[in-house]
Amino acid sequence: MAHRGGCAFLFLVVGSGNLARMGFEVAHGLMFHHFHSDVHPVGQGSISGDEFRSMIEFYGRDNFLCASEWFDRALAGTLAPNHVCLTFDDNLQCQYDVALPVMREFGLTGFWFVYTSVLHGVQEPLEIFRTFRSTYKAIDEFYNDFFESVSVGEFGDLVQEKLDGFDPGAYLVDFPFYSDSDRRFRFVRDEVLGKEAYDAAMYALMESKGFDVDSVAQGLWMDRDQLKELHDEGHIVGLHSYTHPTRLGELSRNDQMGEYQANFDDLVTVLGEKPVAMSHPCNSYNADTFGVLRDLGIQLGFRANMAKSREHEFEFPRIDHAIVLEQMKVGRE
């Protein structure tokens, strides 16, 4: 695949020493999800355009490669330990509105990993639920309402039984920015309830609070024209599954193929060429996933942490922006 677009120019080194201080000894991606602005509300883990700009400066602009150069160097095995790229998951409108203008200032392109069911008008619950959580002044207020609602439902006894033996400190250890409450919630969501029961519980809670799903959904995701615009500017738009299962790696190989084939076909239609890169939704994958991706001709993939050395072409490491924010705070103290 011939990638269009490149880095427009280089900035003076601002933070190259910060990479060494943080102990980053391997090329990696910087991973982003949510941004806030006057249009997009503040939510758990969201950052502003100014914070995004400060992160680029903290890393040092000249440590960043544009997406096409990163891709080519990754395949050639010529990435240096200080090489960093920008990556964005989930096809979010806030990324286009807030992050993209900052990237244009710096002459940078990045990887945008999108799930595509929303291009067909599907209101994927994952983002709907997150937006609902953001309507609370504090995330723990949401957790209180959620667990109170679940406790009086048919799964109340099961949830309590599982939580009685649950050690939050031993769960999701690769994501240190999660609080104990975050871990309990994700444990119940993914390990105890499962998708069907969790979705039912959340829709019931949203209805009880008068949350207007249809209105909120209209401003959550990028559309086909915006994705094509990114592609035409030299960004790499890649796979992130069709519906964004939170436990994709636990699906059968056929079901995984269904998720990625539909995602692949949609992007071929939107971009006019085959996608070649991807990232794993919720960092969930297995050996079957690798086989599916190779069958589709995907050449490069990212995981969602820095926990281990890369073993496959689909395990390039990334660090969550929240960890970098903490490092920046330490640097200012």
Q: What is the pLDDT of residue 17?
A: 54
How does the average pLDDT of the chain come out, rounded? 91
Which percentage of the chain shows pLDDT scores above 70?
91
**Which pLDDT band holds residue 333 (cuts at 50, 70, 90)?**
low
**pTM reported for the whole predicted model:** 0.87
User: 180-204, pLDDT tens digit by residue?
Assistant: 999 999 999 999 999 899 999 999 9
Higher pLDDT, 326 or 241: 241
CA–CA distance, 185 with 162 (Å, rounded to integer): 12
Higher pLDDT, 7 or 324: 324
User: 11-68, pLDDT tens digit by residue?
Assistant: 333 344 565 555 567 899 999 999 999 999 998 899 999 999 999 999 999 999 999 9
User: 102-135, pLDDT tens digit by residue?
Assistant: 999 999 999 999 999 999 999 999 899 999 998 9
Q: Is the pLDDT of residue 4 over 60?
A: no
Average pLDDT over residues 280-291: 96
Higher pLDDT, 109 or 328: 109
Which percentage of the chain shows pLDDT scores above 90?
80
Domains of the chain: 16-122+217-332 (3.20.20.370), 136-210 (no CATH)
Closest residue by Cα to residue 161 from 191, 183, 182, 141: 191
**Which pLDDT band holds residue 311 (cuts at 50, 70, 90)?**
confident
Q: Is the pLDDT of residue 93 over 60?
A: yes
